[in-house]
Amino acid sequence: MLIIPAIDIKDGKCVRLTRGDFSQEKIYLDNPRDMAIIWRKQNAKMLHIVDLDAALTGEMVNFDKIRGIVDELDIPVQVGGGIRTADAVKRYLDIGVGRVVIGSAAVTNPKLVEEVLKIYRSSQIVVGIDAENGVPKIKGWTESSGMKDYDLALQMKEMGVERIVYTDISRDGMLQGIGYESTKKFAEKARMKVTASGGVTSFEDLMKLESLRPFGVDSVIIGKAFYECNFPCQKLWYHYEPGICIDHNYSTARKK
């Protein structure tokens, strides 16, 4: 299973939220590019980046920050957050982003998904479904879509979407374990490629997700658990910034 570290950007900084609540923000590094270098040095094969400011406003506030990360790394970068127009999709793909994640717009403007799939490969266009109790939420998780998560997935599947990034909002950032049952139910009904997200806390969570591979769950995005050093292997890494485990060869980090 592919493990994908997450970098959320707000006000130009690398942060983590709790259940998507913008009032519950923890800053980990001032420069997200530095965080990307850290994860790459720890052998990440792919990164998941979210522009939280764009998720709220629809404006590509942190575009230059994300471009700097893409230019720096030699691995694929997946980007989401406030991507609501074909132009936004084009701008990201033009700078070398590997996958663009369309979230709210898949609900509010499904024709956008149909439009971009006529231009780009299905491997480049991913739909993000952030659900609470099986109902997708949109616009930075501030509004309910009023539909079932698997109904949205099946609608996207008919358009040619092959992969869903599925987040159980109730678990995201809580460090209380993956939403196994919700993810399983969704994957069973959608029968698509699924990247799980939200609540991964331990190695045991990864083993649970491994059992969902027959239903299409082939990858997982991990955020806060990495930043808070929840995995045994992270004990081998030196600690610099509070809560961050990084390779001791990373020379620009500020040692405690």
Q: For 160-201, what is each residue's pLDDT tens digit?
A: 999 999 998 876 555 667 888 999 999 999 999 999 998 888
Query: Residue 238 pLDDT more than 60?
Result: no
For residue range 147-169, what is the model confidence (pLDDT) as tens digits?
999 999 999 999 999 999 999 88
Which residues are annotated as catalytic? 8, 130
CATH topology of domain 2-246: TIM Barrel (3.20.20)
Interior angle at CA 82, CA 81 and CA 86, nearest 5: 115
Read off the pTM: 0.86
Domain locations in the chain as residue ranges: 2-246
